[in-house]
Chain A
Amino acid sequence: MSIRATLTVMGGLPDQAGQVFEVGAGSTTLGRGLNCGIRLADRSISRLHAEVVWEGETLVLIHRSQVNRTLVNGNQILERTPLAGGEEIQLADRVVLRLKLEVEAVAAEAASATPDPEVDATQLGSVEASAVPIADSGPAPPVAEPAEPAPASELASPAAPASPPAAAAEGSVAEPTTAHHLRPVSVDEPPPDPSSINIAIIGAGPAGIAAGVRAAERGLKHTLFERSVLADTIVKYQKGKLVMAEPPQLPLQGDLKMVFEEAVREQVLAWWSEAATNAGTNLVEATEVLSIQGEKGAFKIEMRGPGGAKTVDATHIVLSIGVQGDLRKFGVPGDDQPWVTYQLDDPGAYEDKRVIVVGVGDAGIENAIALAENGNEVTIVNRRDEIDRAKPMNKAAIEAKIKTGEIAYLTHASADRFESDAAVFKTKAGEEVRLDTDLVIGRLGATPPRSFLESLGVSFPSKDKEAIPDVSDRYESNVPGIYMVGALVGYPLIKNCMNQGFEVIEHVLGESVKPADEPVLANKFVEVGGSVSENLARIQEAVPTLAPLTMVQLRQLLFESKVRIEKPGVVIYSRADFDNTFFSIIEGEVELAYLDNSDPTIPDDLRTERRTKRLAGQFFGEDGLISGRRRGETVTTTQQCIVIETPRNTMTKLTRSVEDVKKVIDAAYVNTALATLFPSLESAARDRLADRAETLMHRAGEVIFGEGDEPDGLHLIRRGTAEIYKKHEGSEEQIDSVRAGSTIGELAVLHPGRTRTATAKAGVDCETVLFPTEIILQYVESSREIREYLELKEQEFIIADARRQHGRGTMMWLQKAGGKEATDLLMIDETLCVRCDNCEKACGETHGGVSRLNREAGATYMTSAGSALHLPTACQHCENPKCMTDCPPDALNRDPNGEVWINDETCIGCGNCEAYCPYDVIKMAKVDDEPGPGLLMRLLFPSRAKKKAASDAKPAEGGAATVKKAVKCDLCRELPAKKSGAPRAACVASCPTGAIVRIDPGEYVDEIYERQG
Chain B
Amino acid sequence: MIGPRTFLEYQNYRYLKVALSTLFLSIVVYVVDDPPGGRSGSSWTGYGLGTIAAATIFWLMWLGIRKRSYSATGASLKGWVSAHVYLGTGLLFLVPLHSAFEFGWNVHTLAYALMCVVCISGILGVAFYALVPTSMTRNRNNITLDAMLERIAEIDSECRMAADGLPDYYAHAVVTSIDDTRIGGTFRSQLSGKDADCGTSRALRSLRTSEVDLDDEAKEQERKLIELIARKELLLKQIRRDVRFKGLLDLWLIVHVPFAFATCAALIVHIFVVFWYH
Interface residue B137 (Cβ < 8 Å from any Cβ of A): yes
* In the complex, chain A residues whose CB is within 8 Å of the CB of B76: 988-989, 991, 994
Interface residue B106 (Cβ < 8 Å from any Cβ of A): no
- Choose among A406, A866, A993 the residue with the greatest number of B CB atoms under 10 Å from its CB: A993
Q: Are B161 and A997 in contact (CB under 8 A)?
A: no
* In the complex, chain A residues whose CB is within 8 Å of the CB of B78: 991-994
Interface residue B12 (Cβ < 8 Å from any Cβ of A): no
Q: Are B71 and A994 in contact (CB under 8 A)?
A: no
What are 15 A-B contacts defined by CB distance under 8 Å?
A830-B134, A835-B246, A836-B249, A857-B144, A859-B142, A868-B137, A869-B3, A975-B71, A990-B67, A992-B80, A993-B7, A994-B7, A997-B3, A1007-B3, A1010-B2
* In the complex, chain B residues whose CB is within 8 Å of the CB of A989: 70, 72, 76-77
**Residues A831 and B133 in contact in the complex (CB < 8 Å), given A935-B68, A988-B76, A994-B10:** yes
**A831: contacting residue among B69, B81, B137, B249, CB under 8 A:** B137
Q: Are A846 and B71 in contact (CB under 8 A)?
A: yes
For residue A855, which residue of chain B has the nearest CB? B144
Interface residue B1 (Cβ < 8 Å from any Cβ of A): yes
Q: Are B3 and A999 in contact (CB under 8 A)?
A: yes
Q: Are A994 and B134 in contact (CB under 8 A)?
A: no
Of A156-164, A673-681, A705-713, A837-845, which stretch is located at the interface?
Answer: A837-845
Known contacts A831-B133, A834-B129, A975-B71; 18 additional CB pairs below 8 A are: A406-B157, A830-B134, A832-B4, A834-B133, A835-B246, A836-B249, A838-B67, A841-B70, A859-B142, A860-B142, A868-B138, A870-B137, A988-B76, A989-B76, A991-B77, A994-B10, A1007-B3, A1010-B3
**B3: contacting residue among A827, A862, A984, CB under 8 A:** A827
Please report whether the interface of chain B is mostly helix, strand, loop or mixed according to DSSP. Answer: helix
Shortest beta-carbon distance from B149 to chain A in Å: 12
* In the complex, chain B residues whose CB is within 8 Å of the CB of A984: 73
Q: Are A834 and B73 in contact (CB under 8 A)?
A: no
* In the complex, chain A residues whose CB is within 8 Å of the CB of B68: 841, 845, 935, 938-939
For residue A1008, which residue of chain B has the nearest CB? B3
Q: Are B73 and A976 in contact (CB under 8 A)?
A: yes
Interface residue B120 (Cβ < 8 Å from any Cβ of A): no
Interface residue B154 (Cβ < 8 Å from any Cβ of A): yes
Closest 10 CB pairs of A and B: A994-B78, A842-B70, A868-B137, A830-B137, A845-B70, A992-B81, A1007-B3, A856-B144, A829-B4, A831-B134
**Residues A1010 and B134 in contact in the complex (CB < 8 Å), given A404-B157, A841-B70:** no
Give 1 or 0 for each of A850-881: 1 = CB within 8 Å of chain B CB.
Answer: 00000011011010001011100000000000
* In the complex, chain A residues whose CB is within 8 Å of the CB of B70: 841-842, 845-846, 986, 989-990
Interface residue A400 (Cβ < 8 Å from any Cβ of B): yes
Shortest beta-carbon distance from B265 to chain A in Å: 16
When chains A and B are docked, how far (Å) is the Cα of A1011 from the Cα of B3?
Answer: 10
Tally the A-B contacts, defined by beta carbons under 8 Å.
118
When chains A and B are docked, how far (Å) is the Cα of A281 from the Cα of B219?
Answer: 72
Q: Are A866 and B134 in contact (CB under 8 A)?
A: yes
When chains A and B are docked, how far (Å) is the Cα of A400 from the Cα of B157?
Answer: 11
Give B contacts to A, CB under 8 Å: 1-7, 10, 64-65, 67-73, 76-78, 80-81, 129, 132-134, 136-138, 140, 142, 144-146, 154, 157-158, 161, 246, 249
Shortest beta-carbon distance from A991 to chain B in Å: 6
Interface residue A996 (Cβ < 8 Å from any Cβ of B): yes
For residue B68, which residue of chain A has the nearest CB? A935
Give A contacts to B, CB under 8 Å: 400, 404-406, 827, 829-836, 838, 841-842, 845-846, 856-857, 859-860, 862, 866, 868-870, 935, 938-939, 975-976, 984, 986, 988-997, 999, 1003, 1006-1007, 1010-1011
* In the complex, chain A residues whose CB is within 8 Å of the CB of B136: 830, 835
* In the complex, chain A residues whose CB is within 8 Å of the CB of B142: 859-860
* In the complex, chain B residues whose CB is within 8 Å of the CB of A995: 4, 133
For residue B80, which residue of chain A has the nearest CB? A992
When chains A and B are docked, how far (Å) is the Cα of A834 from the Cα of B81?
Answer: 13
Shortest beta-carbon distance from A814 to chain B in Å: 14
* In the complex, chain B residues whose CB is within 8 Å of the CB of A842: 70
**Residues A829 and B81 in contact in the complex (CB < 8 Å), given A990-B70, A993-B129:** no
When chains A and B are docked, how far (Å) is the Cα of A986 from the Cα of B2?
Answer: 20
Q: Are A1003 and B2 in contact (CB under 8 A)?
A: yes
* In the complex, chain A residues whose CB is within 8 Å of the CB of B145: 856
**Residues A935 and B69 in contact in the complex (CB < 8 Å), given A999-B2, A1010-B1:** yes
Shortest beta-carbon distance from A464 to chain B in Å: 40
**A997: contacting residue among B4, B72, B134, B140, CB under 8 A:** B4
Q: Are A834 and B249 in contact (CB under 8 A)?
A: yes
When chains A and B are docked, how far (Å) is the Cα of A860 from the Cα of B138?
Answer: 10
Shortest beta-carbon distance from B256 to chain A in Å: 13
Q: Are B161 and A405 in contact (CB under 8 A)?
A: yes
When chains A and B are docked, how far (Å) is the Cα of A991 from the Cα of B81?
Answer: 9
Shortest beta-carbon distance from A848 to chain B in Å: 12
* In the complex, chain A residues whose CB is within 8 Å of the CB of B81: 992-993
* In the complex, chain A residues whose CB is within 8 Å of the CB of B246: 835
When chains A and B are docked, how far (Å) is the Cα of A926 from the Cα of B137?
Answer: 33
* In the complex, chain B residues whose CB is within 8 Å of the CB of A1007: 1-3
When chains A and B are docked, how far (Å) is the Cα of A976 from the Cα of B157?
Answer: 51
* In the complex, chain B residues whose CB is within 8 Å of the CB of A835: 133, 136, 246, 249
For residue A994, which residue of chain B has the nearest CB? B78
- Choose among B5, B7, B70, B133 the residue with the greatest number of A CB atoms under 10 Å from its CB: B70
When chains A and B are docked, how far (Å) is the Cα of A807 from the Cα of B67?
Answer: 38
When chains A and B are docked, how far (Å) is the Cα of A406 from the Cα of B72?
Answer: 52
Shortest beta-carbon distance from B174 to chain A in Å: 14
